[in-house]
Amino acid sequence: MKKMLILIGALCITSLGFAKMNDGVFKSEAKDFDKRGWKVFLDLTVKDGKIESANFDYINKDGKLKSEDVEYNKKYKEISKIDVPELKEIFSEELVEKQNPEAIDSVAGATQSLVQFKKLSKEAIIASESGVKETVKVDL
């Protein structure tokens, strides 16, 4: 209950724009693996109260990353004209530049990934503002 109140308070402060992010690495991830066996996650690094980097990827039950799956990314790029390594770079650069996940522009062929990235980013930012070091589990 106490943790929930802290998160609600942080959300209220965040919406007003008064909260300061604490330095460190803050993690958020999907509660469950998707139907294809992947779980999306984000590691957000904050330094001097600002987002320094964001590592966005998907992991399977064997611990393999989607961004490193050459065959998957080749097929995905043929269909969507973009692959997971490119998405990771674009999303991280945009978040570092804008410091606000809602300000990130859409990326053709990656609508669902962007929605997931924004949700995970918001939760990691709230964790940073609240000082929550545990990985935040998110319903996606």
pTM of the model: 0.84
Three-state SS annotation for the chain: CHHHHHHHHHHHHHHHCCCCCCCEEEEEEECCCCCCCEEEEEEEEEECCEEEEEEEEEEECCCCEHHHCHHHHHHHHHHHCCCHHHHHHHHHHHHHHHCCHHHCCCCCCCHHHHHHHHHHHHHHHHHHHHCCCCCEEECC
Whether the predicted pLDDT of 1 surpasses 60: no
Q: How confident is the model at residue 13 (pLDDT cuts 50, 70, 90)?
A: very low
Domains and CATH numbers, the chain: 2-138 (3.90.1010.20)
User: What percent of the chain has pLDDT above 70?
Assistant: 87
